[in-house]
């Protein structure tokens, strides 16, 4: 073999080795997790599930299909100390506004079927009737507006930031209303739910949470585009 052929052969071998190395580097390492938004929110789904809570206690709320601005506002509140949950605060405390918006958008755009509501409850017929009355009529004598005046007549929320009250566990509904009552949950001012929550008592909370948890979600669960009439009070969720 001539010297020229030896040089050419070595060059070709080196090139082939380089291509193999590049191909190996471009391939994901065995077990490598892809960096996608679906993968990054897996920690959320571990507790909240996709269609409903993944926890047996049924405490965690469904996130899929909630208004994007509502989800974003809640993530901000956990990060900035207006809502208090140690696990949530730990998960979002170092996340930027843009990243929180991306998470909110991901869940808001999920269009998943709702599971059927529970068929049994230990709430009495009188308690359920009281809950329905609070949902659609409120209690004018005590200055409590109907849930439907802010959350929509179908109770599926109002864009951009008022959430649905349906498809949620009774325990979650009761605990959040209790937080408003006990000054344990806040929203940016004007904080309309804090004003309403302080007027509720334990019987009110049990009644409305029990009734709401039993209601089926309508075929179109999307939030209304706008309230049917002016809200009964100023509320930051509507930018007012």
In this predicted structure, the answer to whether residue 152 has a pLDDT above a threshold of 80 is yes
Given this model, what pLDDT does residue 51 score? 80
Which position has the token pair 């071998």? 13
In this predicted structure, the answer to whether residue 64 has a pLDDT above a threshold of 80 is yes
Question: Hey, how many other C-beta atoms are within 10 angstroms of the C-beta on 61?
Answer: 20
* 110-143 residue pLDDT tens: 999 998 999 999 999 999 999 999 999 999 999 9
* 200-215 residue pLDDT tens: 999 999 999 999 999 9
Given this model, what pLDDT does residue 55 score? 65
Residue predicted with more confidence, 166 or 8 = 166
In this predicted structure, the answer to whether residue 80 has a pLDDT above a threshold of 90 is yes
Kindly give, in sequence order, each residue whose CB lies less than 8 Å from that of residue 49, ignoring residues fewer than 6 positions away. 55, 60, 62
Given this model, what pLDDT does residue 22 score? 38
Q: Is the pTM of this model over 0.75?
A: yes
Using DSSP, state whether 144 is helix, strand or coil.
strand
Assess whether the previous peptide bond of 190 is cis (omega < 30° from 0): yes
Given this model, what pLDDT does residue 24 score? 45
Token code pair at residue 167? 């498809």
Given the candidates 1.10.150.120, 3.30.70.860, 3.40.190.10, 1.10.760.10, the CATH classification of the domain at 37-238 is 1.10.760.10
Of 51-65, 93-107, 180-194, the range with the highest mean pLDDT is: 93-107
């Amino acid at each position: 073999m001539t010297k020229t052929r030896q040089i050419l052969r070595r060059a070709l071998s080196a090139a082939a080795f380089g291509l193999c190395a590049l191909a190996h580097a471009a391939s994901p390492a065995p077990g490598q997790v892809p960096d996608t938004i679906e993968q990054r929110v897996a920690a959320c789904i571990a507790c909240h599930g996709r269609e409903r809570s993944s926890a047996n206690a049924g405490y965690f709320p469904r996130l899929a299909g909630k208004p994007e601005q509502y989800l974003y506002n809640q993530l901000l509140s956990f990060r900035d100390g207006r809502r208090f949950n140690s696990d949530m605060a730990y998960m979002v405390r170092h996340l930027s506004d843009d990243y929180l918006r991306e998470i909110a958008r991901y869940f808001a755009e999920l269009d998943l079927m709702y599971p059927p509501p529970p068929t049994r409850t230990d709430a009495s017929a009188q308690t359920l009737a009281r809950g329905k009355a609070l949902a659609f009529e409120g209690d004018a004598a005590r200055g409590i507006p109907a849930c439907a005046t802010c959350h929509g007549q179908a109770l599926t929320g109002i864009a951009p930031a008022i959430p649905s009250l349906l498809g949620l566990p009774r325990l979650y509904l009761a605990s959040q209303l209790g937080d408003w009552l006990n000054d344990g949950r806040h929203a940016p001012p004007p904080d309309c739910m804090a004003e309403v929550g302080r007027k509720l008592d334990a019987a009110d909370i049990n009644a409305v949470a029990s009734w709401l948890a039993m209601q089926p979600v309508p075929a179109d669960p999307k939030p209304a585009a706008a309230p049917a009439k002016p809200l009964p009070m100023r509320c930051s969720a509507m930018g007012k």
